[in-house]
Structure 1
Amino acid sequence: MSDSIFGDLIQPAQRGLRRLWPNRIGRRLALGFGALVALMLLALSQAGLQLKLVSEVTQRFATGDMQRLLRVQALSLQTEGVGSALIRLMNAPRENRVAEYTDVDERNRRIDGIIESLSNDLSDPEQEETLKRLKACRAIYADAFIATVDEVEAGDLKAAAKALNEQINPSLKAMLLESNTLLARERQRVEGQLEDAQKLFQQAAVWVGALSLLMVALAAWLAWRTTQSVVVPLAQLESAARAIAGGDYTGRVPTTATREVDRVGRALNTMADAVAQREQQIARLAYHDPLTHLPNRTALLTRPSEGTPAPNTLVLMDMARLKGINETLGYTTGDTLIQEMAQRATWVFELAADEGLIGPSPVVARLSGGSFAGFFYAADRAAVEVLHTRVERAMAESVQCSGHSVDLSMACGFADSGPDGPPKPVGTLMRNAEIALHAAKRSAVGHAWYSEAQEAARLTHLSLVSELRGAVAASQLQMWLQPKFSLVTGKSVGAEALVRWQHPQRGFISPAEFVPFAEQTGYITMVTDWMLREALRTLATWAPLHPELSIAVNISTRDLQDPGFARRVEGMLQTAGVDPSRLRLEITESGLMEDAQNSVALLHTLRGIGLPLSIDDFGTGYSSLAYLQKLPVSELKIDRSFIDSIDASPGTQKLVKAMIEMGHGMDLMVTAEGVETEAERATIARLGCDVMQGYLGARPLYGDALQTWFDQL
């Protein structure tokens, strides 16, 4: 019962203290420091008060008591000294008495002055009584002194000595006694003042010490109270932050009585919710394509090959002409096609799964651009072929985009785990499907299954590309020249340089095997530089006998995109000392269109150096007459596909004649490539072509055969 009553009394008091204790750290610190400052000021004021009192006592002691003590001491000394002066006076010859009189008179005046000052300064009754007796003794001494002086002046030294012994000395002794009494009393008073000052110092020390202890206690209490109200909640905040860092966003920081900490806790809770939402968004972005909302490559590669039955087949589907559609109709149209392809592919795969053609829960993912992947289970390749037919049928319908009807065509590469063995990882299947997709793009069918032969060919190409750098350095490459002949004079006007590779182990390697891969990897620039140096070296050796001959070197798309290409060619020309007009550079239409703006600028730079430029394989690219007018070229080379059997094709003759007239209208020399029969030569000559190149004139030459041709010129 008593505990309950005691608790009832304590709890309201605690609540009252909590109300008095601020709920904000700033106010708590202000309250605590304010209290400490107040106590400090109180201690300083008390110490100052005590020091003031001590100062007053000290000043009073220094200006009053001590001065009075010194005067009393001086009185005793003068009293003692006057007796000695009187003895010297009595014993001094008459002629020396004036000085002694002066000394005695001076001492008497000093005694009178000290007595007078003490009369005005003493406030102690006992001291005043002593001073009265001292004055009385002084009066007796004064009378005795006069009587003694009279006897001395009368010459009666015996009477003077008698007066000195009987009257002056007793009065001086009495004066000395009274002055010593004053001195002793003054010393007592000084000692008392010193004791009082000591007590004041002790009191000041006690006050300051007590206030200091109070400040220390208050500071300790404030530190403990602040620590309890801040450190503990901060530990909770730290624990919550560690939980958030560990990925746990469900925990909550409890509320506290400290407003700032409570605000941080609420902010931490809000941050946990925001981070959880952002992680979900990041996960969606990391594993899903934002355009089609399908899984992306990362989601597909990290998907375990599990299920009943486990997926064992992967197909890669790549939309054709997406880059051209984006450049022509805009990226919005391209995005619409990608979304449409995603919807159709997903619908076909889900329908096939519902019908049991493939396993349940197939995955359709967008990899990049117009590339998609389907990952599923198929009992055999026949089911996959049926699925492919359905996908092609679904893609056959045109898509209406921005007023345009666009066809969805695609290439497909298939890879599976094979009839035997466990399912292969999805990464392996994707790599195999990519190899099959490349094979499908090179074939006319547009789809292909992965085979080890494809990978072997791909590895061979990669190996060749990696060895190409060494081949350039070791001079394994060869420059073959195919002569070009004037259709008017029949004489050779130059040759086209063709690169060949004589591998020390693999033997002769066709350019079709390594040039495309060198283009893709960028190694083609090394080949171009090597061919340019070889052509210039050959032109330098031809210069004395046939300075009219030129050599044409093919320039790749990579070279057209290299801003330093023109500077390198100019440096090679200066080193070789060859007239720039004898080195002809051939550029394909498709290479120009890769980066038309920069390519045209580079061509103007090359033309400014003095190099003649040719458009190779004309008629197979995408350039127009209006575009060709901007190019600083001097030759059009009609592709061999137009020359083949041109004598038997009137329609082709009309087309080629239009090309020739167009070239002549632009002041360009026109060359026909791939001329192999006399009929073809006669036809192109009749149509007005200027130069021919092909097996009819000469095959590509190298070594002795090239030298023989040169000697016959």
Structure 2
Amino acid sequence: MAVSASLQQRLLRFVLGLLISMALTVALAVWLSTTNHSHNQIDSNLSIAESVLKQLLRNREQQLMSSTEVLTSDFGFKQAVATQDKSTLESVLHNHGERIGADLMVLLSLQGKIIASDTEQVEAHFNQDFFIRSSLSNGGATDYLTVNGRLYQVILLPVKAPLPIAIAMVGFELNRELAEQWKDLTGLDITFYFNKSSSDKVIASTLPPDLWLKALSEAYTPYSTHSLPLFGRPQFASLQLDLNQSNSGEAGLYLTYSVEKAFHEFDVLQLRIIVITFIGALLASFGGIVIARNMAYPLRSLAKTASRMAKGEFGLKVDVQRTTSEVSELAAAFETMQVGLAEREARIVFQAHHDPLTSLINRQHIITRLKEHLDSIDYKPLSVICINILDFRIVNDTFGHFVGDQCLKQIGERLSGLPEQNCLAARLGGDEFLVAIPLACSVERTAENVLATLSSAYMIQQLEITLKFSMGIACAPRDSTDADQLVQQASIALDMARREQLGIAFYNSNMEQTHLKRLQLLADLKKTLAQNDGQLQMYFQPKVLASTQEHFRFEALIRWIHPEQGFIPPDLFIPLAEQAGLIANITDWVVEAVITQIAEWKSNQFTAQVAINLSAKDLSRKHLLENIKQLLDDYSLPSDSLAFEITESEIMRDAKEAIDLLIRFRSFGFDLAIDDFGTGYSSLSHLKHMPVTELKIDKSFVLQLDQLADDQIIVKSTIELAHSFNLKVVAEGVENQASMDLLREWGCDWLQGFYLSRPLPAKDVLPWVENFAKPDQAANN
């Protein structure tokens, strides 16, 4: 029910939300349109009424002006004015006022003082200067005045005999009767007012008295930039007109329009929208409930089917009420999905258990299979063989990775096709494989058969490739009955085979002790590199200039003095560091230690070039060269303070890349030497392209130079060859005076060996140099 209720709620919310949103959108559109229309209607009606009213005022002014001219042109009226008889004047004003229908008759002097009027007392405040000046200069004037609390439209005309002798002011009252007449003409309510004490006072209006204040102060102002609000809008829209000609603002009128009248149809429309929305909401709710129920039951059934599929049950029949085409399509999709999921799960399981290149099972799965075999009650003894391809990198570098991958595939095929029954083959990663074979014969015979199967040539792209292998073997139950331990033991034996350059190595307990010692040694090496606790030290073996024996250079040699195991040879821990990826850390430590020592010698007025050995991995490091240059700059040392020696075999692993890297080193001004020359695979074609400055003849050719003729031929020709390439020659392994004399005779440039000096700690270098330079150096040597 939870799924059904949730679906109903979602559908109802969606339908109702959509309906309400549409209703609000329509209402907003209608409101905006109607409000704009109402604005325009109000403004238009007021504008038209304003024009009509102004025309009425002009017409009334002309009529009143004509009636007043009749009065001022009358001879009897002029004669009465000339006599200045007040009672006569009042009688004349009264009679003529009734004749022209005037409501106010006043005679003014040319100075603006009241001479006579048809009322007992006239209380009026007007701009006398403006009236008098305007009537005299223009022949008449009109304005609006409040007299005795009433509002009049007044006409002022000069009385001439023939020059102006007085001014007649004739007034016509603006009252409710006039407002009603104008309302009939304009269709709007008219309100007359005059200003008193900064507030408007209504004189007459067509509105009821209780609406006067709203019409004057709370009305909506037409032509404004503010829109009418949807709620709480004002009752009226009023337009104010100022009637005074003298700009005194004392009298005026309001044209008032009913806002409710303009918005009546809009309000009815809004009510209809609300009613329609409410009815639609009821219908939508009912329809949503029905639709949700019709969809919920099939979906619930499909959800149960999906739950069973999630548990790994496939091939289920999807039994649902297919009330709609969409539900039918969904049920069909579920049935199709079951097939796809079953295939995909099988593919994922296969990929999780197998190597993608060779299709052999992987490390984790073969361990699982071994556990299953060893856990069975009547399992047969078996051998676990770890296999490594020797120098497989050369195949990739020489022939390309495609050929290398094809070699790996063929190895996998050969291991899968071994004749032994129940044989398991796996690829552990990279160039390492593992095979578990039940022992039908001796373990030695089994290992030899596997090695023979793998060692025959591989034909790839018309290439015949021969590979060499090392194998490490552990047996169950002889060595262990635990799968993980068996694989570990075979790996330990393989490591021994690689280090000792053996084809096959069988596990024994001593190997594990050696392996543990190597692991401990590696951990100690990491620790001493991190802490720099003084266990690692630099020794320096001198190189002496053969011609004079007065100039010296040195080769930097790292030494590890372990606090428990004592001296550990570099031949032991350097390969270990390379395997563990620590060779870069060691090189960085050596570089910094050597540069620091050179700077210290310089402070003691001693300068000598020191050579540092680099590996191929060091050459491939992007920032090594920049770091070396920065250290030299920090200690203010020139580039020729350092030289670098790279073994011939390291260079030949990837000659092109190595040469490119050596060119970068030479561009910084460093001297470069090929170490152990004659033991690698270099050729003259490579040598002429190498940016090196020295050849270092391997000590194996120099140790017995005075006794072996073949070594003499090799060394002499090597010196001549190097000089033909403008290279200096260093001979290492000088052990006696006879060998040194031969080397000097053949033009060897630098000599190095125990006969001259063993590697020295830094503190003994300067004393050795001073002692060697003495005349009795031969004795000291």
Match of 2:437 in 1: 376
Given the alignment of the two structures, is residue 251 of structure 1 paired with residue 316 of structure 2, yes or no? yes
Asked if structure 2 preserves the Cα contact closer than 8 Å seen for 1:320 and 1:411, the reply is: yes
Which amino acid is the alignment partner of residue 701 of structure 2? F
* SS of residue paired to 1:445: coil
* SS of residue paired to 2:630: helix
Match of 2:427 in 1: 366
Which amino acid is the alignment partner of residue 495 of structure 2? H
Identity of aligned residues (%): 33
Alpha-carbon distance, 1:426 to partner = 1.7
* SS of residue paired to 1:337: helix
Which amino acid is the alignment partner of residue 292 of structure 2? T
* SS of residue paired to 2:548: coil
Match of 1:399 in 2: 458
Q: 1:677 aligns with which of 726, 730, 736?
A: 736
Match of 1:662 in 2: 721
Of Structure 1 and Structure 2, which has the larger fraction of its residues in helix?
Answer: 1
- 1:684-703 alignment, distance < 5 Å: 684-702=743-761
Asked if structure 1 preserves the Cα contact closer than 8 Å seen for 2:394 and 2:653, the reply is: no
Asked if structure 1 preserves the Cα contact closer than 8 Å seen for 2:538 and 2:762, the reply is: no
Distance in 2 (CA, whole Å) between partners of 1:400 and 1:215 is 80
Match of 2:627 in 1: 568
Match of 1:105 in 2: none
Given the alignment of the two structures, is residue 272 of structure 1 paired with residue 338 of structure 2, yes or no? yes
Match of 1:584 in 2: 643
Distance in 2 (CA, whole Å) between partners of 1:657 and 1:275 is 75
Alpha-carbon distance, 1:257 to partner = 2.9
Given the alignment of the two structures, is residue 523 of structure 1 paired with residue 600 of structure 2, yes or no? no
Distance in 1 (CA, whole Å) between partners of 2:350 and 2:338 is 18
Alpha-carbon distance, 1:259 to partner = 0.4
Match of 1:437 in 2: 494
Which amino acid is the alignment partner of residue 497 of structure 2? A
Match of 1:292 in 2: 358
* SS of residue paired to 2:294: helix
Given the alignment of the two structures, is residue 636 of structure 1 paired with residue 701 of structure 2, yes or no? no
Match of 1:54 in 2: none
Asked if structure 1 preserves the Cα contact closer than 8 Å seen for 2:455 and 2:469, the reply is: no
Alpha-carbon distance, 1:413 to partner = 0.1
1:424-477: CA deviation from partner (whole Å, max 9, x where unpaired): 222211111111101011224321122232222222222223223443411222
Match of 2:481 in 1: 424
Of Structure 1 and Structure 2, which has the larger fraction of its residues in strand?
Answer: 2
> Across the two proteins, how many residue pairs are aligned to each other?
500
Distance in 1 (CA, whole Å) between partners of 2:587 and 2:612 is 8
Match of 1:460 in 2: 517
* SS of residue paired to 1:317: strand
Distance in 2 (CA, whole Å) between partners of 1:228 and 1:520 is 68
Alpha-carbon distance, 1:387 to partner = 0.7
* SS of residue paired to 2:567: strand
Asked if structure 2 preserves the Cα contact closer than 8 Å seen for 1:312 and 1:424, the reply is: no
Asked if structure 2 preserves the Cα contact closer than 8 Å seen for 1:305 and 1:311, the reply is: no
Which amino acid is the alignment partner of residue 443 of structure 1? E
Match of 1:237 in 2: 302
* SS of residue paired to 1:606: helix
Distance in 2 (CA, whole Å) between partners of 1:527 and 1:220 is 77
- TM-score, length-normalised on structure 2? 0.58
Distance in 2 (CA, whole Å) between partners of 1:485 and 1:434 is 46
- Structure 1 residue ranges without an equivalent (≥5): 1-27, 41-207, 354-360
Which amino acid is the alignment partner of residue 232 of structure 1? Y
Distance in 2 (CA, whole Å) between partners of 1:565 and 1:556 is 12
Which amino acid is the alignment partner of residue 403 of structure 2? T
Given the alignment of the two structures, is residue 487 of structure 1 paired with residue 557 of structure 2, yes or no? no
Q: Aligned-pair RMSD on alpha carbons?
A: 3.5
- 1:74-473 alignment, distance < 5 Å: 222-223=287-288, 225-254=290-319, 256-303=322-369, 304-306=371-373, 307=376, 308-348=378-418, 350-351=419-420, 353=421, 361-378=422-439, 383-419=442-478, 424-472=481-529, 473=532
Distance in 2 (CA, whole Å) between partners of 1:508 and 1:444 is 25
Which amino acid is the alignment partner of residue 428 of structure 1? Q
Q: 2:573 aligns with which of 514, 517, 524?
A: 514
Match of 2:36 in 1: none
Which amino acid is the alignment partner of residue 233 of structure 1? P
Alpha-carbon distance, 1:537 to partner = 3.5
Larger mean CA deviation between 614-623 and 405-414 belongs to 614-623
* SS of residue paired to 2:316: coil
Larger mean CA deviation between 452-461 and 331-340 belongs to 331-340
Distance in 2 (CA, whole Å) between partners of 1:439 and 1:630 is 38
Asked if structure 2 preserves the Cα contact closer than 8 Å seen for 1:589 and 1:616, the reply is: yes
Pair 1:222–1:530, CA change in 2 (3 A): closer
- TM-score, length-normalised on structure 1? 0.63
Distance in 2 (CA, whole Å) between partners of 1:672 and 1:537 is 27
Distance in 2 (CA, whole Å) between partners of 1:397 and 1:229 is 71
